[in-house]
Structure 1
Amino acid sequence: MNFLSINVRGVGEDAKISWVRRLKIKHKATFVGLQETQLSTSLSIDVKGCWDSNEFDFVSVDSSGRSGELILIWDTTLFQKSDVIKNRHYLVISGKYKNSSASGNLNIVNVYGPQSTSEKKKVRFELLNIINGRSGMWVVFGNFNVVRDLGERCSSQFRPHSAFAFNRFIQEANLKDFNMGWERFTYYDSVTAHPRELSNHNPITLTSSVSDFGPIPFKFFNSWLLREGFDQVVTDAWNCFRGYGTPDAYLAAKFRFLKEIIKKWRKEMDQKERHEVNVTLKMTKNFEKFVESRPLSSEEKGIWIDGIKKITEWERLKALDLK
């Protein structure tokens, strides 16, 4: 039973949809919570594109202008929804986890907290009543727009009274807060903070199991058509093939030969691209750490922006493979 929380800061682009789907698959998430989709209605979002099968359901709260909107998506083969509570600043779903010996309800809360101090207080009060008024296990994630102590605040004003109220809410709701923020805290128990990549917030996963479904079988991907050198590889392979036999056997052999050449090209291309992507991701992660302690120079900002553009283009090509 794995959970993925992402403050996406807009999810209208194919690259963002592909990114969410990639993280969902990589971390084998049963539940995915998105905050700040920045779209006025869930009808504008390719929710199916965020998932890797047709076995899913979701609930959402529409945004107000460019701020907000929450979405909760889950695997319907593993979770049976029984109740939903919607609010502008939070989503609550309750139900049963299928094929489990555990008894009682499972309650999931996706939060995007308001900026106003009075609204924050109202949200905490409402959530506290909901949590204390229902039985079962609770998993609460998202962005409360508040921190617990000064060490979690960077490049903005720390408000001690808000922190005190937030800590009291966590205690009264009998919740456990995992001490994690940015990339300085990588692992704590089964919670992981991942690189921001296409957002200015770190995706967070809560993992309770690990599975391995084996290698992905060979198939043709749409993005290959846009890869540099692919046309030449196909043309050269097609022209250099030498075979014999009946026309249908000859053609079948030619296609098998072409398939092997493409597989070899794909392996070499993947190794090269993975290296480039890993280098770029490492670079952007380093800049994320630098910006916590000092302002970046114009040159560093330019390199960081170029790196994000490369990651976005890589995600765009990956998105083509989903269509």
Structure 2
Amino acid sequence: MVKTLKKKYNVNMLGLLETKREVISKYDVARIWGNSSVGWEFVESARAAGGLLLMWDDMMFKRSNCYKGERWLCIEGLLTKNNFQCAFCLVYGAHEREEKRVVWEELSYIVGLCQVPFCLLGDFNEILQVEDRKGVMSLSVSAEEFKSWVQDMQLLDLPLTDRKFTWFRGQSCSRLDRVLVNIKWVEEFPDIRLKGGPRGLSDYCPLIVEVTSIRGGPRPFRSLDSWFTHEGFLRTVKNEWQNLGGGPFLGKLKALTLPLR
């Protein structure tokens, strides 16, 4: 599956979950990637369970820092094509509610530590809305906590454009896999798209993030759907707009960006 994806898509970064490997060698990584021009970091499995591997084109991304947790792997560095300082974090969510809360707290800490645009991707093992799981009528407490965490972190859940679910087992279907980014990421990559790859024999289908263009020139004012679902959005816009007085229209739009974030 990995080689098929790399042949079909121009892959600059690749994350693998559940490697089930306590040790990963440079030879293993070069064999997966296809050549030796690859940077990589991994989190070892606990015996035959778990394990994370993150690989990237060494010419496209220059790593400066790496942070690891039991269920996440974060690399911070520079995307050389557009001189973009950022961080990627591969996540494999826990199963129990208390363990999930620990993971969210650890990710909150690492995002605050890096202080750069962030992209979190992987299997979060939780849904964000009832439509993310077949046959569900309401969110569990754990799902509500995950949703609150995403909102508190001001993360955007990239919409999956070509399918509804990412995990399948018998009659059960869920969207457990996702890509979460902050608004600075969307501003830098305005045409970012998320779609699913071929599922093969796995219970999961891979996620593919595509970027067809990089921001050029001044950043435009953007409206996000999530703003309109926030109960305080219209009140905030009205109050801030009145406080800005009679300035130029475009200047007032720009000034709205900070309070909306």
> Which residue of 54, 57, 64 maps to 1:72?
54
Specify the SS of the correspondent of 1:201: coil
Counterparts of 2:27 and 2:100, CA distance in 1: 27
**For the Cα contact (< 8 Å) 1:108–1:140, is it kept in 2?**
yes
Specify the SS of the correspondent of 1:207: strand
> Which residue of 56, 76, 88 maps to 1:108?
88
Counterparts of 2:101 and 2:70, CA distance in 1: 14
Specify the SS of the correspondent of 2:131: helix
In the alignment, structure 1 segments of 5+ residues that lack a partner are 1-18, 211-323
Aligned to 2:6: 24
Aligned to 1:176: 156
Counterparts of 1:181 and 1:174, CA distance in 2: 21
> Which residue of 210, 234, 239 maps to 1:207?
210
Residue 182 of structure 1: how far off its partner (Å): 8.4
Counterparts of 2:133 and 2:22, CA distance in 1: 30
Residue 101 of structure 1: how far off its partner (Å): 4.4
Aligned pair 1:97/2:100, yes or no?
Answer: no
Aligned to 2:15: 33
Task: Give the number of the structure whose alpha-carbon radius of gyration is greater.
Answer: 1
**For the Cα contact (< 8 Å) 2:130–2:136, is it kept in 1?**
no
Q: Deviations over 1:64-100 (max 9, x none)?
A: 1332100000000011100000111000000011132
Aligned to 1:191: 194
- The amino acid of 2:68's aligned partner reads K
Residue 172 of structure 1: how far off its partner (Å): 1.7
**For the Cα contact (< 8 Å) 1:190–1:206, is it kept in 2?**
yes
> Which residue of 124, 148, 156 maps to 2:104?
124
Q: Deviations over 1:241-285 (max 9, x none)?
A: xxxxxxxxxxxxxxxxxxxxxxxxxxxxxxxxxxxxxxxxxxxxx
Counterparts of 1:138 and 1:206, CA distance in 2: 14
Alpha carbons of 1:35 and 1:194: their partners in 2 closer, same or farther (altered >3 Å)? same
Aligned to 1:320: none
Residue 181 of structure 1: how far off its partner (Å): 8.8
Counterparts of 1:43 and 1:111, CA distance in 2: 21
Aligned to 1:166: 146
> Which residue of 117, 135, 156 maps to 1:137?
117
Identity of aligned residues (%): 26
**For the Cα contact (< 8 Å) 1:40–1:69, is it kept in 2?**
yes
Give the structure with the larger strand fraction.
Answer: 2
Aligned to 2:34: 52
Normalised to the residue count of structure 1, the TM-score between the two structures is 0.53
**For the Cα contact (< 8 Å) 1:132–1:173, is it kept in 2?**
no
Tell me which stretches of 4 or more aligned residues in structure 1 moved more than 6 Å. 155-158
Alpha carbons of 1:112 and 1:80: their partners in 2 closer, same or farther (altered >3 Å)? same
In the alignment, structure 2 segments of 5+ residues that lack a partner are 167-190, 214-261
Normalised to the residue count of structure 2, the TM-score between the two structures is 0.65
Counterparts of 1:93 and 1:27, CA distance in 2: 22
- The amino acid of 1:85's aligned partner reads Y
Residue 157 of structure 1: how far off its partner (Å): 11
**For the Cα contact (< 8 Å) 1:182–1:202, is it kept in 2?**
no
CA RMSD of aligned residues (A): 2.7
